[in-house]
Structures are given as structure tokens and as C-alpha cells.
Amino acid sequence: EDGYRLWLRNAPVADAAQQRPGQVVLVGIESPTMILARDELSRGLAELFPGGATGRTTPILLRRVIGPQMREGAFTIASMDQGVAITANSDTGLLYGAFALLRELGQGKALASIRLDEAPAYDLRMLNHWDNPDGHVERGYAGRSIFDWWHLPGHVDARMTDYARANASIGINGVVINNVNARATMLEPRYIAKAKALADTFRPWGIRLYLSARFSAPRDIGGLKTADPLDPAVRAWWKAKADELYSAIPDFGGFLVKANSEGQPGPQDYGRSHANGANMLAEAIGNRGVVIWRAFVYAAENDEDRAKQAFTEFQPLDGKFASNVVVQVKNGPIDFQPREPFHPLFGAMPKTRLSLELQITKEYLGFASHLAFLAPLFEEVLDADTGRSGTVADTVSVIAGVANTGSDRNWTGSHFDQANWYAFGRLAWNPKLPSKQIASEWAAQTFSRDPAFLNAVVPMMLASRDAVVDYMTPLGLAHVMGTGHHYGPAPWVADLDRPEWNPVYYHRADRDGIGFDRTATGSDALAQYAPAVAKRLLADEALLLWFCHVPWDHRLTNGSTLWEELPRRYDRGVATVARMGTTWAGLAPYVDQQRHRAVADFLTIQADEARWWRDASLAYWSSVSGRALPAGHEAPAHPLAWYQAQRFPEAPGQ
């Protein structure tokens, strides 16, 4: 077992007394997607019940019906006289229903007991790949790009079907195949042909293809002198480009754009607004697709608190975007940290369609080598009450995740990172699913449905993200990772060109205290939230140093001072990782040797690195505060200078 089969292993169900599913029968027209649904189900059932359909069996009906109006992809599963029926009014609904039945059976549920009535919460559930045409994946920790750009379109690797199938199994229906730091080349005919080959492969699995577009493409590859969105020649160029794309890919999803952010070109280069830029592309796409315009912006010339800049810039544009524009907002106001408050734009742009951007790849959470199950992080943001129009989940209409896939055999660089891909898809389908259920579903299908295994592994997964917060960024700290690669601790870095690239910008630690004052006495970023929410955030000690600069002797609600509590948090994180190692060691009887060993190795790396994070951070806080560690905490293994001298030129993903 090398992990290639993901959660789609369909390990045989032991209980012979189970009523066995019989033949799969298609009712309705046979479309390519319906045939896939039938074949998927037949194959999956044969794997789950290898004894074959002998004895008492129940036929499975895949029924495509007309009306009632349901969201594309919705389905029901129920027992009827003729058998168990999966019913939907769309082909993709049947496909999702087929996967759902296998998921339920894969967890050991009895066929007769399975009743589902599901509809996806959002129309668009998409992966954003940060893959470059040279095969390098920005922030990718699972090898090279899974897209074999070089051999496309002549050869479409069989893996592309497996990839589409895995996505369909969790309801993902959109894929942006290239990096937001886009090369204009991707819009040239040569690359459109490659994209078309991928789109044709994805289509029967209910997946539409999107491209990241470089805003300056009319200049870069179009021979124009400008990319000004109000210039008629520029508008005509984009319209012709969109037409060219649609003639190759009739269901092309649209463009994703990173503009005027981290050096990318954009409408502001011509004195135009983000709305001018987005609307120009939206006009070119028309009603055939969407333009997803990212709100991840901050500028060197701007000395406003980086956490405030996206709101300052985008909120006033509410109501100014065309109806086929979606503004995509990262979960938090800075950048995919282990813990951030939700982004204040959620709920604050009621006249604009918003997308929530999550990062599945663990750029700031230890890459693929640290086990951190992200469903609790995703759940925390989805459930956050914006104080304006419901929770974050209520205020968005699209969910996007930065993919963690690559060409590694196990797809995601580590076995447990498969769970984050899975969790993303499941939550984009139903943002109300509890993390615990997702962990259990995934672990049962991926490793073992034995209750003894699940009772140990699920709590381990659920505690893992908080462990990372504890040993990397406790109590609201953020962005203290190593320069460039973002691996490992570097809270001391203070010499990078732009102030907001330096960890010291974020923690502001000195002899007297630590933390970023975002209250009215500081940057007042808090005021970007609804007043009741601002109050709640200010009272949340998990975010203390995000919102407040406090003295080292600041008293916490548990009676300890900050200086006493900090080492406790780091120690707690280190201890949790050690426990994860012990738990996993005890699970050897339930997991094949190959995968068990690989996970155990990574947990050992994680244990060493959690300790490294703790030691380096405490050595540094001690040096800036001029305080010795409180009694009862082990001294760091090395002096501060040793940690500061570490370099990792080989770190992947940069």
C-alpha cells in the first residue's frame, strides 16, 4: 500500500451477514457521466463485497429523474420496492450519489440503513493549483506538478482520470490548473491545447477547468502597448481570447486573477480600480463563466497595517463588481497562518459574491512532514459569526482550496495530508459537517474501519492542528516562520526589504512586551469587524497577541502571566506531538506496514521539529525580554545564535 488509492480503497466488508448489493441498474439516458457512475459503483461494490452478488442481494438503481428543481449535484438514496435507489435530476447528482453510497458502505454501514438526501451548499467547489508550466509547484510539498505539461496534449496520463475521480468523490467541481502568479504563456494557443486535453478528461467527472490569467497578457503575448482595462484594444484582446478559449473548451469555467499583489501586474498600474479590471474580464467572459478576483493585496508603499489593507481597498468597491465576478478572500486577514481571526471582508460586502480561499497545502503548518488535520481550522472559519449576515459560511457563494497535490505516489506528500484534501471537499459540499465526522469517514476508508483504530486515530487528528498552533504560534502570534520557504522558526528576522515581510513586524516583541496592537490605540484593525464581533475577538485569549501588545507580566484569565504561559503552550504542543507518536505506534496492527512506517517516520521528524520550534522561539523571547525561563521548563538545547544560523536552501515549494 503506497497510498495511491487514497480514501477510495473499498476494503472488503467483513460482515457476511450484510445484505449484499446486487447489480447496478441505470434508469434513464446513458450519458458519459452516468456510465461512469454505474461503473464506479459496480467496481466499488465488487471490491467491498468480493464474494460476489450471490444469495440475497438488493439491486442498486441509478435513477435520473426530471424535476423537482434541485441544486446541480443533489441526490437522494433510499430503499424502494425494487431495490436501493440513488435518485437525482442531474448526471453529476448520480455520480455524487454513487460515491456517497460507497462512502457509507466503506464505513461499514448496512445497506438497508442508508438514507441520504443531500445537496451541495455551494455551486462552485474548487481547487486552485499553484502549478507552473515548468512543473514546479509554488508551496507544493508533494513533488512536481501532477499535470504533465510537457507531454500534453499528445498524451494525457491515466493519473488525470484518477485525479478527476478523486475530486468527484468528494464533490469538487472546479479546478484552476495554474498558479495565481501566472505566466502569460498559459493563454497562448499551445497551452490552450494542453488545457483542452485536461478539460476533456475532467468533464465526465463533473469538473470544469479554469485558468489563472496574468493581467498584463495583452502586452506580454498580445503585442499591445498597454493592458489598461479601459483601453478598447485591450478589451477586444480579452474578448477574442475568451472566445478562443470557449471554442476549444465549451464549458471553460473562467479566470482566476491575482492583480496588484506581491508584484503582479493589475489595473492599478494604469490608475484603474480592481473593479475596473475585474469587470473588463467579466465582460469578455460574459454569461459563459466567472471571473474570480483575489482580494489578497498589500503594498510596500502602504504603511497601513497589512492586516487592514484588503478590507480598506475592497470594501468600498462593494456593489461595483459585475454579476459574474466573484471576489476571493483568504480565510484570515494576513496569510494562512496556523490561527488567524476570520477575514473582516466576510459579511462586509453584501452586494458582492465572495469566495472563501483556504490553503490545503501546509505552507505555514510544517509542510507535508507535520501531521496537522486542517478540518478544525476550516471549521473554525466557516462557523465564525461575522456579526453582519450570519457565519462566514453563510456569506460566501464559492469555496476554493489551494491544492496540496503533486506527482508523489501518495498524491499529497504524506498519507495524512490526504485527509486535508478530503476534508476540504467534504466541507465545500457541506460546511456544517463536523471535523470529527470527516476525520472518522476518512480514516475508516483510508486505513481501517475497526472501532478500536478509529477511537484512537480520530482524537489524534482532531488535536493535531492545535498542537501546531501551540508549538509555532501560540496565543495569537503569526508569521514568525523562516524567510522565503516559511519552514521552521525565525522570529528574529528583521532585515528584509519590506517591513511586513519581517517576523518582527508581526510580533513587535521588545523588553517590555509582545504583540501587535490592533485596537484603537494601535492600527485599529479591530474596527473593521462588526462591533459585537470586535468585542468577542478582543476577549479571545487564543488571539491575544494578534490584537494586543501586552507586557510580559500581563495576567491571563487562568491567573498566570504571559511570560509563564508562553512556555507552557510550547511545551503542550511538544507533548501533544509526542503523544501522537505513541498513539500511532500502538496502531500498527490496523495499518499495513508500508504506510504505518511512513507515518511513524514523519511523526518522528515532527517531534524533533516541534522541539526545535519551542526551543528557538523561547531562546529568542528570552533574549528580547531579558528574562530567564520560568522554573520548571527545560532550557533550549542550543544558544539562540545556533538557531539563527540554520539555513534550508533545499526546502521545497519556494
Which residues contact ligand BDP by CB under 6 A?
Answer: 138-139, 180-181, 258, 262, 296, 335-336, 363
**Residue 138 CB, nearest approach to ligand BDP (Å):** 5
Q: What does the alpha-carbon distance between residue 431 and residue 123 come to, in Å, rounded to a whole number? A: 13
Min dist CB 297 to ligand BDP, Å, is 9
Q: Decide whether 296 or 346 has the Cβ nearer to ligand BDP.
A: 296
Q: Report the residue closest to ligand BDP, judged by CB.
A: 335
Q: Cβ closer to ligand BDP: 212 or 435? A: 212
Catalytic residue check, 357: no
* Max intra-chain CA distance, the chain: 77
Catalytic residue among 117, 123, 251, 262: 262
Active site residue 251: no
User: Strand ranges (DSSP E) for 487-643?
Assistant: 513-514, 550-551
DSSP H or E segment with residue 452: helix 451-472
Nearest to 61 by CA among 31, 32, 36, 97: 97
The answer to whether 22 touches 53, Cβ cutoff 8 Å, is yes
Min dist. Cβ of residue 36 to ligand BDP (A): 33
Whether 244 sits among the annotated catalytic residues: the reply is: no
Minimum CB distance to ligand BDP smaller for 138 or for 231: 138
Q: How far is the CB of 296 from ligand BDP (least distance, A)?
A: 5
Q: What DSSP string runs through 120-142?
A: -S-SEEEEE--B-TTS-BTT--S
Q: Quick one: cell of 492?
A: 528574529
Do 355 and 398 contact (CB within 8 A), yes or no?
yes
List the grid coordinates of 483.
Answer: 524567510
Tell me the one-letter amino acid at 488: G
* Active-site position among 131, 335, 408, 517: 335
Alpha-carbon torsion (353, 307, 423, 254), positive or negative: positive
Instruction: Note whether 24 and 60 are within 8 A (CB).
Output: yes
Contacts of 650 (CB under 8 A, 6+ apart): none
Instruction: Tell me the C-alpha distance between 654 and 651, whole Å.
Output: 7
Residue 629 grid cell: 525561563
Nearer to ligand BDP, 363 or 441 (CB): 363
Q: Which of 363, 470, 500, 571 is catalytic?
A: 363
- Smallest distance, Å, CB 485 to ligand BDP? 9
The smaller minimum CB distance to ligand BDP, of residues 262 and 510, is found at: 262
* Beta carbon nearer to ligand BDP, 167 or 337: 337
Helix axis angle for 593-625 and 451-472, nearest 10°, is 20
Distance of closest approach, residue 364 Cβ to ligand BDP, in angstroms = 8
Active-site residue list: 262, 335, 363
